Amino acid sequence: MALELPSAPKVGMVSLGCPKALVDSERILTRLRADGYSMSADYQGADVVLVNTCGFLDSAKEESLAAIGEAIAENGRVIVTGCMGNEAEVIRTRFPQVLAVTGAHQYEAVVEAVHQAAPPELSPYLDLIPQAAADERGIKLTPRHYSYLKISEGCNHACAFCIIPQLRGKLASRRIDAILREAEKLVASGTRELLVISQDTSAYGVDIGHEPRDFHGTPVRAHMTDLARELGGLRAPDGQRPWVRLHYVYPYPHVDAVIPLMAEGLLTPYLDIPFQHASPSVLRAMKRPANEAKVLDRLRKWREICPDIAIRSSFVVGFPGETEADFQYLLDWLDEAQLDRVGAFRFEPVEGATANVLPDAVPEEVKEERYARIMEKTAAISAAKLAAKVGRVLPVIIDEVGEPDEDGDIGATGRSQADAPEIDGAVYLRQVDSSTAPGDIVEVLIEDADAHDLYGAVVTT
């Protein structure tokens, strides 16, 4: 008679918020899989559902609460984790039937809560699965060809509109050898694009004194520039260099040192810099550095060194005290800065943020009007910059390949080096070869453009 093995408990996951939270979800699921759990793609098949929440803005909190409510209605056995886990009383008051609430990056606590809610089946056949090491990545929630590489947690800034330090604590950098080993394994297993993320990538290693660690026989400092150089030296099994994209980069002076690495081809020529505003008075109220003129000079120098560099940023409109003159200053600054990719947000009070008590709140209708104007301005800049790329041949990474149409033509969607996944534009390709697959990096002749996207065809040799 054949031995019947016990079925593994199944875990469902709802992951909300930023890429850093997505990495947390991947690590939690990897640990649970190592503990013998399997994953469920729907509510009905799960023995317990994890909701990884976002608590940065009130609107994000409402989305998180809605997701918790849906999981309870559809499944009933719910564990809450993530940034909003810091507001356990709010969650339990609204949903007393929640099984457990844990905070951001509390991996051990959430795994223990799952163990209690749906104990793993102990078996000499199932219990031989080794546990994943703390710094190893297993389950991915992104496509195989790109991966988020989180280098630190927390933040040492005290921006008036932000509560990240309250949610995730002060800066806590990972060991550089652990980061590089993880990156090496990701690239070896098929990752063609590494997206470096943290709350403050430029500050990496400050908290640990830029402590050097041995990596393949060479000491490497825990510093952003050293990390960038080492990541740029990685190679896939086929010898190709992966794209390495830097996110959440505060423009500290040492950022200048990574621009030559982009010009050399070691890094993807792309910087995601959270400027937030340009008006000196608004930046001071936000408790942000107010050196916008110097930033413009540095942008010009960066473009001289690496003409193809793409700069993305985000801005807050309607911050308390923002006058029409402040907002016009921002629009004029954007005309000079000519940023490639821009996101804008209407100011929203966040419980616990010092900005909530600032005087001269901006009326909602004014926020809406300013939001519309900044989006119109940045769309026009983007359209002009993309139009200038028509006729050029650019490298494009393939994200998705379509099915043949009635004429047998196959289309595909990809991204240029100026486009990060989920937040930037896309490159739409026509008549791609049937062998084309996600993760392929192809040369594309750009034939057309609009305000946000490019259109073209693969260059055949």
Annotated binding site for [4Fe-4S] cluster: 18, 54, 83, 155, 159, 162
Supply φ then ψ for residue 16, to 5 degrees: -115, 165
Whether 347 and 362 have beta carbons less than 8 Å apart is answered as: yes
Transcribe 274-304 into DSSP letters.
--B---HHHHHHHT----HHHHHHHHHHHHH
Quick one: how far is CA 140 from the chain centroid? Answer: 14
Task: Compute the distance between CA of residue 227 and CA of residue 183 in angstroms, rounded to an integer.
Answer: 11
Sign of CA dihedral 276, 282, 288, 293: positive
Give the number of other Cβ atoms within 10 Å of residue 4's Cβ: 6
Eight-class DSSP state of 164: H
DSSP state of 9: P
301: how many CB neighbours lie within 10 A of its CB? Answer: 12
Other Cβ atoms less than 10 A from the Cβ of 159: the count is 18
Retrieve residue 28's tokens: 């939690």
The annotated binding site is made up of: 18, 54, 83, 155, 159, 162
Helix, strand and coil in the chain, % to nearest 5: 35, 20, 45
- CA angle 148/150/155 to nearest 5° reads 135
Contact indicator for 246, 272 with CB cutoff of 8 Å: yes
Contact criterion met (CB below 8 Å) for 79 and 105: no
With contact defined as beta carbons under 8 Å apart, do 52 and 16 qualify?
yes
Report the distance separating Cα 166 and Cα 151, nearest Å.
19
Residue 49 and residue 78 in contact, taking contact as beta carbons nearer than 8 Å: yes
Q: What is the DSSP letter of 198?
A: -
d(CA 116, CA 118): 6
Give the DSSP letter of residue 145: T
Question: Residue 311: what residue type?
Answer: I
